[in-house]
Each structure stands twice: as structure tokens, then as C-alpha cells.
Amino acid sequence: MRIDFGEPKPLDSLEGLRLHDPASYVEECRHDVWLALRRQRPVGVDEMPDGTRYWSFAGYADCDKIVKDTATYSSEEGTILASVGVGDSAGGQTITLMDPPDHGALRRPLMRTMRQSVVRRRADAVREKVLALIDPLLHGGEHDVARLMRLLPMVAAGDILGIPEKYWETIAFNTTASIAPEDPEYAVGRNVGDTLRRVHHQLFACFTDAIETRRRDPGDDVVSALLGLEIDGRPLEDRRVMLNCYSVALGANSTTPHVACHTLLALAQRPDIWRTVVENPSVIPALVEEGARWTSPTHHLIRRVTTDVELSGAQMAKGDWVCAWVASANRDEQVFDGPYDFDLGRSPNPHLGFGAGAHYCIGAPASRFALSVIFEALALRRVRFEVTGEIRHLYSNWINGITSMPMRFTPGAVTA
């Protein structure tokens, strides 16, 4: 989705909203819709194409509550719009699709392989890999940054996940294809079903081999942690290990590249902000955090109500589907001053870009580190960058992604 600077003109009418339509996120900046929702209809009912209805919440306080109150708002049947009405075949099996307390049995050991102290310990090796990935940008010239950044999550976290490097490209491409099979960049099959079959087949082949490799040669990584895990005294069966590999790889690949791209794009559009970063690189942690809020790589998070409940006037019944529009929450003027500004001084910055509560992103330390390395390296070399061609956005109602972004990089060109 395009992201514009400045407050949008809210939509005049909310009639006939098609929030589920992936096409509506390709060309337009949809903050006009979310602003109108927050002003006119912060809580409402929307419909999927098959007529299944779901509650839409647009304000920060409600979204924060929905995401944090896991007893009332369950993740077990799906966390994306595509699951509304049909559920998710991996429900109850993966870290993202489980509720506390069972969820903790998976999350705790995975967390141990990905927490801040681990990222710090692995920092030198990861920095070297990230710098190698962005080396072409540091040397200048024209590059399609979106294609280059596709590999960033695997470079940043592939070793933490325990996935052999030979699979990184395949996994990076296919995880995104699995959530955007209609996007022209990712439509590798004859039709959506064929694309999904192909990408799932390749993903499961990679994960099967990664699992066998780690079984023979266990390490300090996610796959090994999954293999060593016992729930109720029984090891996790291979299918479940595989589904969790998929879930973690998807979490990584569907988000991190787009925060990198959208942040670079915002800085290209506002060279004054980039100059501030170049002159004072100590703001880079704030830049990364604001980049995550600005991008809000997941437009929404879905939950299902476990009991009859009321929230902000909505009388919901057990089994109702609920959508927290995180991207809208991250522009809520009740919480963020100047929400349509890219503000390096924003503090605090309690954005929901990484989620919140029990499901808060476990990859946040790894992705924050990788993003910091990129901006530190560009700042150190005083690289100027500008867009040189057409930017293409991901065909998805879930992920705010960029699939192509040609840019020119000029080292030493940011002058004091």
C-alpha cells in the first residue's frame, strides 16, 4: 500500500466498503478509510465476499485490548482475514494459532532461541551478512531495493531459525507467495490453487530437509528447539514441527523487508529527515521503531470471540470474528501526536506494529538489529537515495508490502 505524508481527506461515505479486497491496497493509500472509520464508525460490522460477517475495530484502545485479551479473543482459528468464516487448518498447532496457557509451552523455548541476548551474541555474524546483502547499495548505482530486501529476514534470522542457507531464497520467495498468490510477482502457477500447491510443496521440502539436518546435528536454533520440545510428555510430531517452521519463517519474511522498504521510501521522500539521521546516527533505534509504526506491515489481526462480550458498544456473541485494524490503531490521534508525520522524536511510541501481549513478535529483536545495521551503514557512508522508477505494492489485504522499488544510491552525497 502507498503511504502518504500528511492527514488524508477522510472518505465521505463508508457505504460499500470492501476492506477485504486486496486490490484496494495496491494503488491507494488506505489511511483515508481508516481515518473515516475512527471518526465515524470506530466499531462496525463488515462482510467477507461469502457473506461472513466480522466486527471491525479501528481505534487504538480497542485493538490493543483485542490483541492483549487472549482469554476473550482467541487466535486458535486464524489471525488473518482469509481465515474469517473458514478457520485455519493449522489452528491450535502453531505458536501464532494457539492461546495461553498452551501457547506458552511453544513460545517459551522458541523465545529462548530468539531473545535480545541471543541477537547480541550473534551480532557480529549477522552484521557481516546484512552488510554483504546491502553491499550493492553501499557502492551506489540503481537497484531494485524490494527484490534485494526480500532476503533480509533470512540473512538476519536464518541461522537463528536453523535453516540451511541453501534454502533461504526459496523460503523467502515462497512464504510471501503463500500469502499473496495473486500478486503478479508471486503468481507462479496456472491459478491461485496451483500457485499455492507449488509454493507449499517447495516450502515443505525445504523444511523437511532442515528438520532432518537439525535432527542429525542439533544446534541453538528454532528447529532444534522444536525437535527437543515435549508437550504433555510427548515430542511434537514432525508435521507440527514443520507447521511451526512455516509459521516462524512466514512471520519473518512477510514483514521485515517491507519495513525496510517503506522506511527507505519515507526517507527518500523526506531527505531532511534522512540528513538528521546521517548527522546523528544515535537516532537510528528511534528511526527503526517509527519505521515499524509508519509501515504497520500487518494491516490487521483477526481473533475469534470465546464468550459473549461487549466492547465499545459492540455486543458480540461467542464465535464472532473480530478484526483489529492495527494499521489504523497506529495512526490513532488519541495516542500519537501528528500520526501522519514520520517523527524521529516520537517518545513513547507504543505502536502495535509488532503486535502486543502474549503474541508480541518474537522476531522483533532480530529484525530491529538487522534494520539498524542497514541504516547505520547507509548513514556512515552518507548515502543519498531516490526513487527512479515505478513502485509496485503487494496484492494483499493483510501485508503492507512493496514488491518492486527501483532506487538510485549515491555514496557520500548527503552533505552537511
| 259 lies in the site for ligand HEM, by CB under 6 A | yes
| 96 lies in the site for ligand HEM, by CB under 6 A | yes
* The only residue of 33, 119, 137, 157 in contact with ligand HEM, by rule CB under 6 A: 157
| 172 lies in the site for ligand HEM, by CB under 6 A | no
| Complex with ligand HEM: residue 145 or 157, whichever CB lies closer | 157
Minimum Å gap between C-beta 44 and ligand HEM is: 21
* The only residue of 362, 378, 379, 383 in contact with ligand HEM, by rule CB under 6 A: 362
Minimum Å gap between C-beta 187 and ligand HEM is: 24
- Residue whose CB is nearest to ligand HEM in the complex, by number: 363
β-pair partners for 74:
304
Q: Using the structure block, give the residue that is written with the C-alpha cell 542457507.
A: 165
Residues in binding contact with ligand HEM, number by CB under 6 A: 28
| 359 lies in the site for ligand HEM, by CB under 6 A | yes
| Complex with ligand HEM: residue 195 or 296, whichever CB lies closer | 296
| 248 lies in the site for ligand HEM, by CB under 6 A | yes
| 79 lies in the site for ligand HEM, by CB under 6 A | yes
Minimum Å gap between C-beta 36 and ligand HEM is: 23
| 133 lies in the site for ligand HEM, by CB under 6 A | no
Q: Which of 138, 158, 118 is nearest to 376 (CA)?
A: 138
SS3 of the chain = CCCCCCCCCCCCCCCCCCCCCHHHHCCCCCHHHHHHHHHHCCEEEEECCCCCEEEEECCHHHHHHHHHCCCCEECCCCCCHHHCCCCCCCCCCCHHHCCCCHHHHHHHHHHHHHCHHHHHHCHHHHHHHHHHHCHHHHCCEEEEHHHHHCCHHHHHHHHHHCCCHHHHHHHHHHHHHHHCCCCCCCCCCCCHHHHHHHHHHHHHHHHHHHHHHHHHCCCCCHHHHHHCCEECCEECCHHHHHHHHHHHHHHHHCCHHHHHHHHHHHHHHCHHHHHHHHHCHHHHHHHHHHHHHHHCCECCEEEEECCCEEECCEEECCCCEEEECHHHHCCCCCCCCCCCCCCCCCCCCCCCCCCCHHHCCCCHHHHHHHHHHHHHHHHHCCCEEEECCCCEECCCCCECCEEECEEEEECCCCCC
Residue 340 corresponds to which cell in the numbers above? Answer: 501522519
| 354 lies in the site for ligand HEM, by CB under 6 A | yes
| 365 lies in the site for ligand HEM, by CB under 6 A | no
- Pairwise CA distance, residues 4 & 23, whole Å: 18
Minimum Å gap between C-beta 133 and ligand HEM is: 14
Minimum Å gap between C-beta 122 and ligand HEM is: 12
Minimum Å gap between C-beta 361 and ligand HEM is: 3
* The only residue of 19, 366, 373, 399 in contact with ligand HEM, by rule CB under 6 A: 366
* The only residue of 252, 379, 383, 407 in contact with ligand HEM, by rule CB under 6 A: 252
* The only residue of 298, 328, 396, 403 in contact with ligand HEM, by rule CB under 6 A: 298
Which residues from 301-330 bind ligand HEM, rule CB under 6 A? 301
The stretch near ligand HEM (CB under 6 A) out of 126-134, 212-220, 291-299, 327-335 is 291-299
| 402 lies in the site for ligand HEM, by CB under 6 A | no
| 59 lies in the site for ligand HEM, by CB under 6 A | no
Q: Which of 353, 370, 369 is nearest to 361 (CA)?
A: 353
| Complex with ligand HEM: residue 207 or 354, whichever CB lies closer | 354
Residues within the interface to ligand HEM (CB under 6 A): 67, 75, 79, 95-96, 107, 153, 157, 247-248, 251-252, 255-256, 259, 292, 297-298, 301, 353-355, 359, 361-363, 366-367
